[in-house]
Structure 1
């Protein structure tokens, strides 16, 4: 068994026992490793200590319950191993910056820590070869955009260290909140949009250190004489791109777990192994016209060799 396979096996065990007591020693025993070596390997591959990861996965499950059921907050907390309401509230607020009561009342979008697919760090696919991992399919190709695409939407600045997957930090999902706002306000520009394509664009050029600008909007099918107040126009420029297509079982999984895992693979594994650098931006194109699947694409622009440093 490869080392990463042992950790993947332990991650599956954790998922199946989140409502039960989970000790580090028990996890080490299930994969035949000493507790000392298991903890070192786990932290290296998951980027979290064992019990911190268990806590974050339990909190993620709690959030799912608070959003989709009428269970009392205390009952959900006790179900997932928190010893008291005070203990649970403290852990929740330290992790997400708000109380469980505030979350249930306002239902903001949060960055939660998803179960990672560790094996993705050790698989290098060729262009045009699909990779099936967990519940997603991804494929990387090169594409040429012959003419620019115009998008109308909303924009905000985001702290890099506080957003997943780049910052590995939990808390309020600022891009997700921007998407919620866009979908609430887009009716005023709907006549100008192609409703089957939406784009999220991140770019760091021209922003302060540790910040990036995030845009959320829809593809324009006709340009008005005047853009509605509060909205901005952004362009996906013509040129050569590396495109990572991602498919998932449903749209919610696509924009959370699948996007997180695909981004980590593209930027953390694939581009690095191909010795490629890209311009300081990426685009997420979401397609709403497929009935039998949910899919999106991550677009990045490779830098010419002469511009690489």
Structure 2
């Protein structure tokens, strides 16, 4: 399958450069993905980040060398990209629970993380709710931040971004700017979109946004034009509002790792939408909107 082939090629690159500086932008471009999409797909499939995978593999290989060679600790540290023995020792101890020097003793228990190989996994026991819709171009507007995939900064900072706008009143202000709060049914006035323009390197844009209408006051906000497209729209089960982040991540993961690889559609990068809904009962549900094209086109 195309997705598995691409991910295995990415692993081959990372393994071939395990003692070098790994250029995540280069490997993503070589398999036809943006860095953000590649990083997200890797995390969805493996449940760990690319940075963590590389760290584990380096510490696994370093442990082998400590036990089976006479190389100095400082030389092994430099080989695996650490500028000082102290930094290497901290990283090694965090993973193995012992120092590199202790690891040379016979009978010491160490951890090994094998190279990943992507293969077909039979899933799909749980149903997935989805629909395919074609939409004309529309606009959203809102509050933008630029995030970096290096060291998985985005995984930490996007939730912080939401916390910030919810606590400082910006989310309420954005909702009020729509002038349409009572006419959207269960759809919340504030949603999100990512990767709608190129920002260079390993960065991508993310916007907490609202749908633009003739009632919207967009003063001071950035406006994004979303092109006409065919969308695969995935709907979550209902959840308690406090569980919204986990629910969306689970939904998005299943869409990318279970539905897309076996469907008759290819994903088009960019303009991924997060849509949130609240029912009168207080329960919520969410949708992941992914641009797609038919594989037969």
Q: Which structure has the larger Rg?
A: 2
What TM-score comes out, normalization by structure 2 length? Answer: 0.49
Tell me: higher relative CO, structure 1 or 2? Use CA pairs within 8 A at least 6 residues apart.
2
